[in-house]
Structure formats: C-alpha cells, structure tokens
Structure 1
Amino acid sequence: MEDNLYSIGKVEEICKITKKALRYYDKKDILSPDKVANESGYRYYSKKTLLSVPMIKYYKQSGFKLEEMRAFLKGTTYDFFHKSFTRKIDELKALEREINLKIRSVKDWDDLIVEAQMVIENNVSDVAIKYIDNRTLTFLCQDFKYDYMDSIINIGFTNYIDSINNAITGPVIICFPSFKDKMNGKCNKMKIMQETILKCKEELSIEFGGWMAAACYHIGSHETINETYKKIKKWTEEHGYICSEESYERYVTDYWTTKNEDKFVTEILIRISRKK
C-alpha cells in the first residue's frame, strides 16, 4: 500500500480477481488504476476504485458484456439503466428459450437411446396391444423408394422444417398408406412425421394417436423388417383383430445413433379393431 493506494497484487488478494483480469479491464477502459509509477510501471488503486470490482462481478453475473457495463460504472441516468436492463432481460429470455429447446432435444433423444437399450437387453419382440397417446405432429408427404437411410435422415424434411422456422424432436415416424404394399415392395408413397418444439400452424399439423394399435419392436436392419410385419399380421388374425391399411414405423434408434444396423430398434404400429 502506498499513501492509501493498493498495489495490483493487493487488489488481487482483497477482491479475488486476477492481475490478468485487472490489466484487461484497464485496457478496455472499464477499471483503470489511480496511479501508475513512472519508473516501475506498478499500478495502484484507491479504495473507491476497488469498490467497482463487486459491481463488475454483479454485472458480469447478470450477463452484461464489458462494453455494456462501461456506462454503468462511469455513471449514467436512470432512464439509460432501465432501457439497458430491459434489453438485457429480452436477450436473456431469448437465450433461455434457446437453451430449453436444446435441453429438450437432447433429453428426447436420450429417452430413445434408453428405450432401445431396454428393448435389446430384454429382447422385447412380442406383439402387444397398446394405446397410442394423441399428439400433434408436423408432416411432409414424399415418395418412398425403400431407401431407409435417405427417408429417415431426410434432407427434404430438414429443409422443410427450416422453411417453417421450427425445430423437431423425438423419433421420426413414417406412415405408409398400405402395409401390405409395403411388405410386397409396391409402396411408393410415405408421410414423414415428427413432433415440433414450437407451436405449428394448424394446416401444417396432423393428429397422430388416440387409438389402439398392434405394436411390435423390430430389432435389426430395416431390410428384414417384413419379418415383424408378418408376425403382427399372423398374431392379429389369430387373436380376432382387424388391421387398418396404414402402418407406422417409429424409428427409436437408427442411422442417427449407430452405424451397427443389428442395433437398430424400430417400433411398428398398426391401428386395430375387434372383429365383429
């Protein structure tokens, strides 16, 4: 200390802030020393100047950049404070929405990985009747050429989502107009569907679910998925159910997650009703 001035080392000790940071703040005209010794170049700070450090830490905690807090530290009007704080609140709310979107995207994908792990570990491959919860999805009708990788990692659908300023999450679901045509290699149309994170316009949405389905997981390559269709067809006939024409393939894990096709997990859903 020199005549009630604190050396940069003492400021570091008292305020728990590095010398590097103090020098950077000086360079940016945020916090400058009160005195710089001519010969040694040592920096000295007054107690009043030190009291700006907690303010800098608080503004930094609140998300303000150094350039934004410069006016606050030098002194300004209440109106300037209010306008600056209002802009920062709007900016942080937008950032919050973006972070929440990312959290949901990762969480939904992780849920699918856990589901696939449990299906594979327990070899869940029996046909079951289940209720499909109703949800609203966005969709795009496309041609189908039995190129599963191109259909699931779908450039056209990705571009479509971008064009409507939305984001998607959860599993890709593809609806085929006739599961019998699908099995016989005659299907040439499909409807790709996925849940959007942001609210979608009604004309861009489709209702999915709200009905009972014969469901069965297919473990392995999509090229052998007909085996599971045959299993569902046989099971429903034996148990007195009528299958609708449409089928849905819900891709739990696929090319997005693994290169090992033996580890692909696809859930086939066919809407059913009881024979009268």
Structure 2
Amino acid sequence: MNSQRYTISEMSETSNISKKALRFYDKLGLITPRLRGANNYRYYTHEDVLSVPPLKYYKQMGFRLEEIRAAFDADSNASLRALREMFTTKMEDLRQEEDVLRLRSASIHDWLELLHEAEMVLDNDLRQVSVKYVPPQNLLFHDEVFSLDIKSTIINMGFTNYVESLDNNIAGPVIVHFSSVEDRLKKVEQPIQVLQRPMRPCKPELMQTLGGVLMASCYHIGPYETISDTYRKLQRWCASNSYVHAPDAFERYVTDYWTTNNEALFVTEVLVRVRRPNDTFV
C-alpha cells in the first residue's frame, strides 16, 4: 500500500488543481485530507490522489459538484440505481443543451452568411439586374397589412410573438412578400406576408414556398426610402429584355435594422417572378 502523504501544495502540483479549488473540494467533502501529522497539519494520502481522475471525469461529463459527491458516496445497489437515474437525467439535459447549441450555431451561421453576402455586394457595388432560378424553400409566414413602417415590419413584434406561440425559432433573412409592386411604388398600405425559415418542423398549412421559379433579382443598397428606384430599374430591365414580371414582389433583407443603424450599409435583394410573354406564371 502506498503510504506517501502530500501537503496541499504537493497535492496541487500532483493533481493540477489549484489550492483554492482543493480547499473548496475539502469543504464539500469531495477530496478531504485523511491524515493529520504530529503538528495537527492535514495531509492528503495516495487514495486522495486517486480520487482526482474520477472527479475530473465527472466534471468533463457536466455533472455538478453535488452530483459528483453523490456518485462518490454510492455504496449499495440502491445507490447504484440512483446513480443510473442521475446519468439518465444528465443524458436528457445534454440532449436539450445539444438542441439549444444546434439552434444557436445555425442562427450564427446564417447571420455570418448574410454579412458575407452584404460585404460582397457593397465592396463590388452590385446593383445590376439579373435573372436566376431561385431554389424552392419552405418558410413560415405571417399575414399582415403593411402600414408603411418598414422598420416595424422587419423588426416585427407580432411575428416574434407568433413564432413563440408555435414554440419555434427562426433563422435566416427576413423576407417580405408584397402583394402589389404598384402599391409599393405608390407607398400605400397593402397586404403582405412576413417570411422566415423556422428552425423546427411546422405544419404544412403554416408554410409558404418561395422560389422554384425564374426570378429577376436586383440588390438595393442604402435606405428604404429610395427602394422604388430599384423597382423601376427592374421594370425597365424586364421591358427591354422581353420579360413580363408578376404583379407581386419579394424583398429579402440581407443587412437591415437587425444588423446596423447605418442605412448606408443596408442591403436588400428585390425579387420578382418573371416569364416570357407567351408563357404563364406557375
């Protein structure tokens, strides 16, 4: 049997645990010096040293110190059952934490992608019109009336409450579906849908498909008060390139009030469905 004894300084060096932490563990009864010297000085034993790896392993698994003490005290079948239940509970806690981390990671990833897109648009002054196939994506939608307050439409309390009522989360850019391009140009109220990607599955009737069709796209840079210029640019481009655009439009907010208060850094992608004169809209 190893009879070596350790002062708190020696125990700290051997275990790579600070003396402050060792004193705290002593107070909790996790690692307590077992020997007393002639001068009543307390010493750790080799058995105390061997308590350190299990302690660190339990901490690695995310157990609280009180839980670790209960694990160390297991000395019967009943204690083992309690220990198993503790591990089962911890597994469920970790699954929930994993879900939270997944949601956070996806949200941050989407935001980084939008920031990168905005940087590319701003650095290269991308304002030209192009036609592209937009892959279909299913988005959660919320019907509203656009009251000409674009900030309250983008940072939308009603939509936020709606998402929470569904016990869901959202990520990606805010997209607004305007039912009328002409009303958007005239700056009058109109029915709209606020769209965003849900993080958890939703009932089909709560979802709207954006894309799956050919669309004309143009980035608008700067304040929303001048976005009508981008719409008119799209209209002129469609007319001169033999395209007919749909009566509705989508605004996809790449950087907006969620990102910055500097309107010069606002980047908005305006999207309208297009077709050739002899075709029909899907």
TM-score tier, shorter chain, comes to: over 0.9
Which TM-score applies when normalising by structure 2? 0.93
Query: For structure 1, which segment, 82-91 or 102-111, has the greater mean C-alpha deviation from structure 2 after superposition?
Result: 82-91
What's 1:32 paired with? 32
Pairing 1:258–2:260 present: yes
- On the 8 A contact 1:176/1:187 being kept in 2, the answer is no
What's 1:238 paired with? 240
Query: For structure 1, which segment, 205-214 or 28-37, has the greater mean C-alpha deviation from structure 2 after superposition?
Result: 28-37
- On the 8 A contact 1:178/1:187 being kept in 2, the answer is no
Percent of aligned pairs with the same amino acid: 41
Q: 1:38 to 1:199 in 2, by over 3 A?
A: farther
- On the 8 A contact 2:180/2:190 being kept in 1, the answer is no
For 2:200 and 2:165, locate their aligned partners in 1 and report how far apart those are by CA, in whole Å: 13
Which TM-score applies when normalising by structure 1? 0.95
Deviations 1:188-232 (A, max 9, x none): 221100001111122211111111101000001000000000000
What's 1:75 paired with? 74
What's 1:213 paired with? 215
Unaligned stretches of 5+ residues in structure 1: none
Amino acid of the residue matched to residue 105 of structure 1?
S
Identify the match of residue 87 of structure 2 among 85, 88, 93. 85
Count of aligned pairs between the two proteins: 273
Match of 1:110, SS state, is: helix
Map residues 164-175 of structure 1 onto 2, 5 A cutoff: 164-175=166-177
Deviations 1:244-268 (A, max 9, x none): 1110000000111111111100000
For 1:255 and 1:36, locate their aligned partners in 2 and report how far apart those are by CA, in whole Å: 66
For 1:220 and 1:149, locate their aligned partners in 2 and report how far apart those are by CA, in whole Å: 14
Map residues 1-276 of structure 1 onto 2, 5 A cutoff: 4-36=4-36, 42-76=41-75, 77=77, 78-276=80-278
Unaligned stretches of 5+ residues in structure 2: none
Q: After TM superposition, give the deviation of residue 176 of structure 1 in Å.
A: 0.6
Q: After TM superposition, give the deviation of residue 5 of structure 1 in Å.
A: 2.5
Deviations 1:223-244 (A, max 9, x none): 0000000000010011111111
- On the 8 A contact 1:137/1:208 being kept in 2, the answer is yes
Query: For structure 1, which segment, 23-32 or 170-179, has the greater mean C-alpha deviation from structure 2 after superposition?
Result: 23-32
Q: 1:136 to 1:38 in 2, by over 3 A?
A: farther
- On the 8 A contact 1:7/1:43 being kept in 2, the answer is yes
For 1:174 and 1:43, locate their aligned partners in 2 and report how far apart those are by CA, in whole Å: 70
Match of 2:161, SS state, is: helix
- On the 8 A contact 2:148/2:188 being kept in 1, the answer is no
For 1:18 and 1:129, locate their aligned partners in 2 and report how far apart those are by CA, in whole Å: 64
Match of 2:209, SS state, is: strand
Amino acid of the residue matched to residue 58 of structure 2?
Y
Deviations 1:71-106 (A, max 9, x none): 221224432332221211111111111111101101
Match of 1:84, SS state, is: helix
Amino acid of the residue matched to residue 34 of structure 1?
R
Match of 1:275, SS state, is: coil
